[in-house]
Amino acid sequence: MNLRLKSYVAIQRIKNSISISGCIGKDLLFEYNDDNIALLNSLSTEAGICPDKLINCHLFQQLKENALLEETPTKELKRNEAYYQYANIDFNKIREKRILVLGAGAAGGTITYLLVQQGFTNIMCVDDDKVEVGDVEKTMVYNISDIGKYKVVALWQRVMSNFNIDIKQQRNRLSTASQVRKIIKSYSPDIVVYAIDPAPSFKLVLNQLCIRLNVPIIHASYSYEKILCGPCVVPHQTACMVGYNEYWRKRTNNTFDFYDISKISSSRLVHPSISFNINTLSSIVLKDIIFCLSGNFEIVSTFNRLLIINLLTSDISVNELSCKFCSTCEAKRTIDGI
């Protein structure tokens, strides 16, 4: 079987060296000489070369050890596929994972769109709002012709026409434990994406359900100039939202507690959200969903962490969470289901 360079391997000359990119976190350097260039040229061809006579070749062995070679014939990769191969992920293993997105607003709608664009095929989106002018101004998901339609309907139409993927849609204004319990038990998601903004205590209600059913949940929100990515709560492996609540209590000298907060709504309230906040948030969450579903927790930015990013000042704070003496986390071992 012949071998050739993988399609994403890039080669450059830097003075008297050859720099080869394609390994995560490092470039390989070799001497620039005629033999090495001839070998790389041969390895760059469609047919590749027979490896039998290259056992003692340092350059060849290094390329092989760093997984930069592939057997021929191998079908050419699309850009997304090449990225997953580079990142050591078998996307086909996670393509059909069940993803429940709560919320089809700016963040939830964008995340859902990005998930389908990546190739995920099994998504349910829950929301009960209609598309307004503001949704068209701050997202790329909704068009002016969508104004007045239910968001889940407009979103379904958009991904159906762009990608021919039939996402499940449910019109529901989630606010009670029984509503979300019913959805989670009937859909059996592999991960829940939390992109809604109900009463703060609802986070803890959902947290308890997901811990008991062993379903990871990732949170996405934004507030004024900040985006809040995560935390990604993986039952049995990370702190849960009780730890998140503890984090805010400590940060605010016990004044901020999800159990004690209720919204005093104003009909004139307009969150000053903007597309670069929403798109940054959605992209980070998308990336973490992919790596969470593939089990690569070490590169999930929000795994047990809350990332607060201020896009006005470029400040990024990474906040590790912990759950000490947490009854919700402990209960997971004794309660089977809800």
Residues that bind Zn ion in the complex, under the rule CB under 5 A: 240, 242, 323, 326, 328-329
Distances (CA, A) of 165 to 57, 222, 275, 291: 48, 28, 25, 22
Q: Is 153 or 326 the residue whose CB approaches Zn ion more closely?
A: 326
Q: Is 251 or 263 the residue whose CB approaches Zn ion more closely?
A: 251
Q: Is 129 or 246 the residue whose CB approaches Zn ion more closely?
A: 246
The two structure tokens encoding residue 298: 């070490």
Smallest distance, Å, CB 320 to Zn ion?
A: 14
Q: Is 228 or 326 the residue whose CB approaches Zn ion more closely?
A: 326
Smallest distance, Å, CB 332 to Zn ion?
A: 9
Q: Is 38 or 331 the residue whose CB approaches Zn ion more closely?
A: 331
Smallest distance, Å, CB 329 to Zn ion?
A: 3
Q: Is 65 or 320 the residue whose CB approaches Zn ion more closely?
A: 320
Smallest distance, Å, CB 238 to Zn ion?
A: 9
- Terminal-residue alpha carbon distance, the chain: 54
The two structure tokens encoding residue 48: 């590749």
Smallest distance, Å, CB 326 to Zn ion?
A: 3
Q: Is 208 or 273 the residue whose CB approaches Zn ion more closely?
A: 208
Report whether 5 contacts 51 (CB < 8 A). no
Smallest distance, Å, CB 323 to Zn ion?
A: 3
Q: Using CA atoms, how far apart are residues 182 and 196, in angstroms rounded to an integer?
A: 17
Smallest distance, Å, CB 243 to Zn ion?
A: 5
